[in-house]
A and B are shown apart, each in its own frame.
Chain A
Amino acid sequence: MTGVAVIDSSGSVQRTSPTNWLAMIPPKIFWSGLFLGLVALMALLGPWVGPDPNMIDPDIPTIAPGAAEHWFGTDDLGRDLFSRVAVGARISLLIGIATALVAVVIGTLYGIVSAQFEGRVDTVMMRVIDVIYSLPGLMIVILFSVFLGRGVLSLVLALALFSWPDTARIIRGQVLALKREEFVEAVHSLGGSSWRIAGRHFLPNLVGLIILTATITVPRAILTESTLSFIGLGVEPPLSSWGTLASEGWQLVRIAPHVMLAPALMIFTAMIALNLLGDGLRELLEPKKS
Chain B
Amino acid sequence: MPSFPEARWFQTLGQLMQTEGELFRRLGYAETRFAVRIIPDNNSNGGDRIVGLTIDGYQLSEVKPIADLNEFDPDFVICGKREIWDRMLQEIAEHGRPELRHTLSSLALVGEELWLESTDQLREDKFYRFNQTLQELLNLASKVPE
State whether these chains interact: no
* Residues of B near any A CB (own CB < 8 A): none
Interface residues of A (CB under 8 A from B): none
